[in-house]
């Protein structure tokens, strides 16, 4: 079989390896599609502090179970599944209080152990969830980044009177938008510098006056013009730049909540006064904590369409070109999927 391996930062190859055998409790997957995520690019560039090399990357993938290890029912062979990349110990404090995505011994598939950029891969059977009937495989590959969006909205909570602001119309921001608009039905503004991304936001459910191009309009007058002068009550930073958090703290309404997803090591200059005066709450969110069933339920009920953000499907052997496209210009692509083809 062929796998995409990052041998060390800036060095990636498509290489032949033996097909793995599922260990007890594992399933083997014939991967069909795998999504390229910003964190895959970070591992490639040596900017993910959690990654060890060499590594088969990829943590957003869908495929068909073709073998099972001891203790896993044979009936699962042939099942089309998506994989939750979070593997936790079940024993540490975080695990015991139901926060296993921040397990002290966390293993993320595609980061700490080999992932889905491979024709075949083995994962724990309990991490593999059946794809809803009728959902095409490309959309299923986007369930993982939807679980990331679902996790942060679960962390912040969403109230029917909330006015939300999402910074950044990339894959996570657009998925968040679908969750806020289509699952919760609230008013949700979304910002970006790229008109093509804001056009995608319209397709993901934003009203015409909810998209804000912040290269042309400053955020505060833009919100005031749209009837939200008192500030958003719920803010998500899907840009993950320290300056965004500073702005979010400044413009949030009193009693507002702010969700952050970034892994930047650069400090933010946030005045305590702003947090205390308005009694703001910051929620950090990492990966997802058991949100796959929630997302699959939303899809089954027709509330969200995960395929909306997919702009490209490319042969996995062209991964270098796909990475180049993902990084070159955000107006050209949003979610790029690697196509691993059908089983021979």
CB of 103 or CB of 235, closer to Zn ion: 103
CB of 175 or CB of 294, closer to Zn ion: 175
Measure the CA–CA gap between 3 and 53, rounded to whole angstroms: 14
* Secondary structure of residue 95 in the 3-state scheme: helix
Minimum CB distance to Zn ion, residue 124 (Å): 14
Minimum CB distance to Zn ion, residue 318 (Å): 20
CB of 92 or CB of 275, closer to Zn ion: 92
CB of 77 or CB of 89, closer to Zn ion: 89
CB of 93 or CB of 328, closer to Zn ion: 93
- Tokens standing for residue 258: 């702010």
CB of 92 or CB of 199, closer to Zn ion: 92
Measure the CA–CA gap between 178 and 191, rounded to whole angstroms: 14
Minimum CB distance to Zn ion, residue 127 (Å): 15
Minimum CB distance to Zn ion, residue 59 (Å): 6
The β-bridge partners of 336 are 312
Instruction: Give the DSSP H or E segment for 94.
Output: helix 93-96
CA atoms within a 13 Å half-sphere pointing along the CA-CB vector of 159: 10
CB of 59 or CB of 187, closer to Zn ion: 59
Minimum CB distance to Zn ion, residue 115 (Å): 10
- Tokens standing for residue 184: 């919760």
The bridge status of strand 61-68 relative to strand 26-35 is: antiparallel
Minimum CB distance to Zn ion, residue 134 (Å): 25
CB atoms within 10 A of CB 253: 18
Instruction: Give the DSSP H or E segment for 7.
Output: strand 2-8
Dihedral (CA of 232, 237, 243, 249) sign:
positive
The residues of the shown chain that bind Zn ion, judged by CB under 5 A, are: 37, 39, 88-89, 92, 95, 103
Minimum CB distance to Zn ion, residue 40 (Å): 7
The β-bridge partners of 86 are 108
Dihedral (CA of 285, 286, 291, 295) sign:
positive
From residue 182, how far is each of 38, 112, 113, 199, 251 by CA, in Å? 25, 34, 35, 17, 25
**112 touches 52 (CB < 8 A):** yes
CB of 32 or CB of 335, closer to Zn ion: 335
Q: How far is CA 131 from the centre of its chain?
A: 17
Minimum CB distance to Zn ion, residue 259 (Å): 16
- Give the Cα-Cα-Cα angle 59, 248, 326 (nearest 5 degrees): 35
């Amino acid at each position: 079989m062929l796998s995409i391996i990052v041998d060390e930062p800036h060095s990636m190859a498509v290489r032949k390896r033996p097909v793995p055998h599922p260990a007890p409790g594992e399933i083997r997957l014939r991967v069909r599609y795998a999504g390229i995520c910003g964190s895959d690019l970070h591992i490639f560039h040596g900017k993910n502090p959690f990654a060890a090399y060499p590594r088969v990357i990829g943590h957003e993938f869908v495929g068909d179970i073709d073998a099972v290890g001891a203790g896993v029912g044979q009936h699962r062979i042939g099942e089309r599944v998506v994989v939750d990349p979070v593997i936790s110990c079940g024993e540490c404090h975080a695990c015991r209080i139901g926060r296993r995505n921040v397990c002290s011994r966390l293993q993320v598939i595609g980061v700490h152990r080999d992932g889905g950029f491979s024709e075949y891969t083995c994962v724990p059977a309990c991490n593999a969830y059946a794809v809803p009937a009728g959902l095409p495989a490309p959309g299923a590959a986007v369930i993982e980044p939807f679980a990331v969006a679902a996790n942060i909205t679960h962390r912040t909570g969403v109230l029917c009177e909330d006015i939300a602001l999402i910074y950044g119309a990339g894959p996570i921001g657009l998925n968040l938008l679908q969750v806020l608009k289509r699952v919760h039905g609230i008013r949700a503004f979304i910002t970006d510098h790229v008109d093509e991304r804001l056009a995608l936001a319209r397709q993901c459910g934003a009203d015409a006056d909810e998209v804000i191009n912040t290269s042309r309009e400053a955020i505060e007058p833009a919100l005031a013009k749209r009837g939200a002068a008192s500030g958003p009550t719920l803010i998500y930073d899907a840009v993950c730049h320290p300056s965004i958090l500073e702005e979010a703290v400044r413009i949030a309404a009193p009693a507002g909540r702010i969700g952050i997803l970034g892994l930047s090591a650069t400090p933010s200059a946030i005045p305590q006064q702003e947090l205390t005066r308005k009694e703001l709450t910051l929620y950090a969110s990492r990966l997802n904590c058991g949100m796959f069933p929630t997302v699959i339920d939303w899809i089954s009920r027709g509330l969200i369409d995960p395929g909306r953000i997919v702009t490209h499907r490319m042969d996995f052997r062209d991964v270098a070109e796909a990475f180049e496209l993902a990084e070159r210009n955000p107006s050209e692509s949003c979610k790029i999927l690697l196509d691993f083809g059908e089983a021979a």
